[in-house]
Amino acid sequence: HKAQTVATQFNTVNNALILGCDSVLSINGEIHGKPANPEEAIARWQQMRGNQGILYTGHALIDVSQDKTVVKCGITKVYFTQVSDQAIAAY
């Protein structure tokens, strides 16, 4: 949606291309975006360690002058190693 919002600001620019990208991570069937604060980031790392998840990465390319949009989603299985609480806190 953000790429579409940005594209409306460039509707008078010839040959403007707008690229929007975002990712979400699914762990144990629960969808996670970016952590809202350091505490949430620490809890997320603790949940991820030694676990696996699926990373969904979406891309939207908008050709403003042609009023065309191409949307794709990449899906990647990711594996997390065991990470100590000390390493998580340092990160």
Report the catalytic residues: 22
CA distances, 42 to each of 20, 33, 45, 72, 85 (Å):
28, 14, 5, 31, 8
Indicate the SS3 state at residue 39. helix
Indicate the SS3 state at residue 4. helix
Long-range Cβ contact pairs of 9-12 (< 8 A, separation 24 or more): 10/64, 11/64
